Amino acid sequence: MASRPPMIRADHTNPFAHDTMLNRVPATVRETLALNPDYPPPIQESLKLLESEIASNAPIPMLHLLAPDYESWDASYALRPGATWHNVDWFFAETFFYRHLIQAVRWWETGHDPFTPKKTAELGSGALWSLLEGVLALKDMSPNERLHSLLHADLWGNRIDLSFAASLEHGAQGSHDDLLSDDAPKAVDHLMGRSGAIHLIADNTGTELAMDFVLADALLERPGNNVIFHLKMHPTFVSDAIVADAHILLGAMREQGGTCANLAHRLGAALENGRLRFAPDFFWNSAYLLWDMPARFGRIFRDATLVIIKGDANYRRMVGDALWPADTSFADVTAYFPAPLLALRTLKSDPVVGLASGLAEKLDGLDAQWRVNGRRGVIQFKP
């Protein structure tokens, strides 16, 4: 495997990461307060303190409330003595911020998702249901062609990220020019040639999860396939999917009626018979990188037909949240992973690998923000 570069830090060495911690993260706290005006004063004060500490680059505190993931975070925290919010590896700072937010809003005690208003608003969007009905109408084509189209639809659904306005502006329908790497044909050939367990490491709920569901439905048409969705254990990154979100979306699809309801009924039946499973885990909320995944994942993934990894944060976890040369082989970087791997990701941060030689330099001349504005995407496959 290629030598791993250092992780991106939240200081001035990476302008996008630094801006995230200095401006975007505090704005998320303020938005959480605005979305939840019924929070009692102690929760409001906890959120205001969190915002102030992050904006002022205060020392990062350890969690003060015991919870099932306390020991895991304590181990990560101990590796970064003296860290401040702007002077530590960015992946830790950002993931730990969301864990602190969950503590501040007392999610463990109340079960109240602080991002529910934004998630609910998206489910009320006509754009989501129009897109879903359009993708479900992709029937008059061969199974290979349909699967190829669904992989593309699932990729561009990743643009609908409720924590990132720049990506939202591009919408959920991409163009060929925006696709920087397309291994969809290889992935389709792989899927059509075998059957078994297909794991999907999910990212956003709403539009993206709806596209995930359509893809899962198509994969379940093949005898012998089963699909496992790996979901976050608690709300994070505003719109990342937890188990409750998956069930809420299925319920909204039933209420929508027509082809959307038919999809929900098929997926509901698959849940009942065990061919579709929802598997939440603290690991997907953690600051650990994918090559540090617990042994339980190695055992589960080892016999997988395919593992599909969705979205920007999961891509960062996969490549070590580091600035590799953009033409570094995707297969080389992910050689540690014990199963065939397919990444579907729109770019909302600097790390990227697997591009054609010279493409990054060309894009630098066309669009200085191409790595971070959510417009471009990649479909990358390692057999």
Higher-confidence residue of 57 and 3: namely 57
Is the pLDDT at 144 greater than 70, yes or no?
A: yes
Q: Are 190 and 383 in contact (CB under 8 A)?
A: yes
pLDDT of residue 174: 72
Is the pLDDT at 56 greater than 80, yes or no?
A: yes
pLDDT of residue 160: 77
Q: Could you give the maximum distance between any two Cα atoms of the chain, in Å?
A: 59
Average model confidence (pLDDT) for the chain? 95
pTM: 0.96
pLDDT of residue 12: 97
Q: Are 321 and 89 in contact (CB under 8 A)?
A: yes
The C-alpha atoms of residue 349 and residue 258 are separated, in whole angstroms, by: 38
What is the pLDDT averaged over residues 337-348? 97
The C-alpha atoms of residue 342 and residue 310 are separated, in whole angstroms, by: 8
Taking the mean position of all CA atoms in its chain, how far away is CA 181? Answer: 19
pLDDT of residue 164: 64
The C-alpha atoms of residue 306 and residue 308 are separated, in whole angstroms, by: 6
Q: Are 280 and 229 in contact (CB under 8 A)?
A: no
The SS3 call for residue 8 is coil
pLDDT of residue 353: 98
Is the pLDDT at 285 greater than 80, yes or no?
A: yes
pLDDT of residue 139: 85
The C-alpha atoms of residue 9 and residue 83 are separated, in whole angstroms, by: 11
The C-alpha atoms of residue 117 and residue 123 are separated, in whole angstroms, by: 10
Domains of the chain: 15-110 (1.20.930.60), 117-382 (3.40.50.10880)
Instruction: Provide, rounded to the nearest whole percent, the portion of the chain with pLDDT above 90.
Output: 93
Question: In sequence order, what are the beta bridge partners of 377?
Answer: 179, 346
Q: Which of 109, 108, 84 is nearest to 96 (CA)?
A: 84
Is the pLDDT at 61 greater than 80, yes or no?
A: yes
What is the pLDDT averaged over residues 336-358? 98
Q: Are 70 and 42 in contact (CB under 8 A)?
A: no
Q: Is the dihedral of CA 118, 124, 129, 131 positive or negative?
A: negative
The C-alpha atoms of residue 91 and residue 97 are separated, in whole angstroms, by: 10
What is the pLDDT averaged over residues 59-74? 97
Is the pLDDT at 89 greater than 70, yes or no?
A: yes
Is the pLDDT at 186 greater than 80, yes or no?
A: yes
Is the pLDDT at 166 greater than 70, yes or no?
A: no
Lowest mean pLDDT among 57-66, 168-177, 235-244, 325-334: 168-177
pLDDT of residue 175: 77
Q: Is the dihedral of CA 178, 181, 185, 188 positive or negative?
A: negative
- 226-232 and 276-281 strand pairing: parallel
pLDDT of residue 173: 74
Is the pLDDT at 176 greater than 90, yes or no?
A: no
pLDDT of residue 167: 63
The C-alpha atoms of residue 17 and residue 23 are separated, in whole angstroms, by: 10
What is the pLDDT averaged over residues 202-228? 97
pLDDT of residue 85: 98
pLDDT of residue 3: 86
